[in-house]
Structure 1
Amino acid sequence: MTGAEFSGVRQPEFDTMAGGHTRAAGRIEQLAESLYGELHGAGLDTAPALRLRELAGRVGKQAEDLRRRQALIREMEQQKISFGTSTTAGSFMEMPDGLDAAQSLLDGTLAARLARAAADGDAKALAGLRKYAGRAADPEFAGVFLRTLGAKGVTELPGTLAAQLRDAAKRGESARMNGLSTQGKQTLRLLSTALAAGTDPENRAYAGDGFLRELIEQGRADHAAGGAKYAGYQAQALIWGAHDGKTPFSATFMRTVGGDAVAYEKEQYRRRWAAATEYHHDAQVSLPDLAGALGLGGLLRSGAGTANPDRKTRSSAVGDLLHARWRPTSTRSPTFSSTTGRSARPTPRPCPTRWRWPPATTPGSRR
């Protein structure tokens, strides 16, 4: 059975083939050693024995490849990640031709299952996600992870993290709060790296136009976790804000999901936006991200401390969105020379115009 990205072999025959290659590699190596000894003892050219040894090495590598595939197939079957296909020729177990792709299919699916469980409040599942922190930049892993988790799971996991942190802070459970803060930041970075890749049409991880539309749908939807109600974009903003800046979110993502997030904010804060535009003042008119809405300070923000959740931190959904695309290279406040030779902070000035976002478009356009 063959396809564009898959080829098939019946599992019993596959097991037999893997075992046969392993035995053949050992036998060829033994023959090479015996032949080398006989040729060397007779004073003859040992090149034939050396070529036979090279053949044994190639067969050995093929046997190792088959054993890895065999182990992956068994684990995928055990985890019910890929299902057998019944044909007139027998039952087949599907897996990608490339070992890396097969491993990514396995790891991405298992990580998504853990993420779903963590979104439901499973503490062990949240801790288990740490194992996959280094895989998020792998396109094959990211694509499988996002498609399996879905836009709803991507949106609700940050909501659960924020609600759990608020609960720990209210109860004064410092150890639990600090642990959740560390795990939460790691999880948000994993989500952010995977999401940046999976929403870029030029990346192999691209989850498709439909996934972008689902992100918009979930962003506008109302959600709840731990007694806290929030808009989906408030939770998604935590993912945008966790981005490390190495691979910015694509222009396609910013035009579609980003553009709609700004449009949604304007709909929710229409009067306050109008007032700020008319009087050019610097009023806080932005929709807060979920950390800001729940008063979590820097508990879910990379680089921020965990000791003081009550510290006032101005965090907005649009601010997190800008961070996802254009991460600032410096966090230092600008200073200017004064007539006394000392540095001085610039004097705030009214802004005559406001920054405006390009209108949202439908998913599918490429950069």
Structure 2
Amino acid sequence: MTLIVIIVIFALIFDFINGFHDTANAIATSVSTKALPPRFAVFYAAVLNLVGALTSTAVAKSIGGKIADPLHIQNGPIIVIAALISAIAWGLITWYYGIPSSSSHALIGSLAGAVIASSGMNALNWSGFTQIIEALVISPVLALLVGYVIMWILKLTVRNVSPHRVNKWFRFFQIFSAGLQSFSHGGNDAQKTMGIIVFALVAGKFQTDLSVPLSVKLAAAVSMGLGTSVGGWRIIKTVGSKIIKLEPINGFASDLTSSVVIQSATALGMPVSTTHVISSSIMGTGAAKRFRAVKWGVAGRIVLTWVITLPITGLLAGFCYKCISLFL
């Protein structure tokens, strides 16, 4: 029971960090185009993240059961503690340097690394783990393509309208698209924390299935909402201005694209990186408007961070597991 309490505390800390780390992704476009004032945008995102977190549990069940079977694994609670320490450390490091890394990659890589350190490669559920990795890889590519298409359609639609009027229209539309994006973020990302807590509960023999208790839903939703209310201004600057100089039409197209991709993944029960999806949608909409306007050097550094997150967090979690197991 002591280990479970420790796990819940670490999981909610991770969820809180996820909230202020990934808030930037949900509201960066609306803040950078001045569609929403920063303080209101953070509060708005916090409320809708909380609501989104309570909507479903399909993603939580994928995290809780597809990476490894918590019923047939040794030292499950220690595995989860090691994974959470690794994911929290990576989240804080990337937040400090203003890098929009993926909390999803960090958590999934950490859990896989801790499982391997505990029970070897065969302990991973390779079919389920592969499905999750495929979703993480395909979703940003899809966001890039969909963002390009949506922006291209919008360009054709408003080609004879004055730029002033276009900006005015789409700055208004961004109020709704930013809210939809925040709701989508909460619906996918908070479930990852629910899933890791359920994994620990099953591994610790406190429950026998992957159903998510209401108390876990509420705790994860509130924790993410509180984290979101803190904001992540370093990452807002990177996402909102360093990839491309955003205009309201780009911001709306990016928000709409990422919401569609994230909501689709949530409906399928697949955890995706909201960071990857949102950043890729911004790249896609920027490329559709003017390919050279996208700062591909910054985009390349972001992509590099995405690639290295899984192996680094996996190794870090394995190291944490070995250290913790010496004492427990």
TM-score class normalised by the smaller sequence: under 0.3
More strand by share: 1
Higher RCO (C-alpha 8 Å, min separation 6) = 2
The structure number with the bigger radius of gyration is 1
More helix by share: 2
| TM-score, normalised relative to structure 1 | 0.21
